[in-house]
Amino acid sequence: MHPGPKFQWRDPDAIRAFVRERSFGTLIAGTPDGPRVAHVPVLFLDDNRLGFHLALGNALTAHLDGADALFVAQGPDAYISPDWYGSDDQVPTWNYIATELRGTVRREDDDALLPLIDALSLEHERRLAPKPEWTRDKMKPGLVESMTRGIVAFSLRLSDWQGTRKLGQNKPEAARLSAAQGVELAGNAVMAQWIRDL
CA 116 to mean position of chain CA atoms: 17
Per-residue model confidence as pLDDT tens for the chain (198 residues): 467 889 999 898 999 999 999 999 999 999 999 999 999 999 999 999 999 999 999 999 999 999 999 999 999 999 999 999 998 999 999 999 999 999 999 999 999 999 999 999 999 999 999 999 999 989 898 898 888 899 999 999 999 999 999 999 999 999 999 999 999 999 999 999 999 998
> How far separated are the first and last CA of the chain, in Å rounded?
20
Domains of the chain: 8-112+151-193 (2.30.110.10)
β-bridge partners, 153 = 53
What letter represents residue 28's amino acid? I
Position 4 scores a pLDDT of 84
Query: Is the separation of the CB atoms in 155 and 49 below 8 Å?
Result: yes
4 contacts: CB under 8 Å, gap ≥ 6: 170
| pTM for this predicted structure | 0.92
CB-based contacts of 8: which residues, under 8 Å, 6+ apart? 162, 163, 164
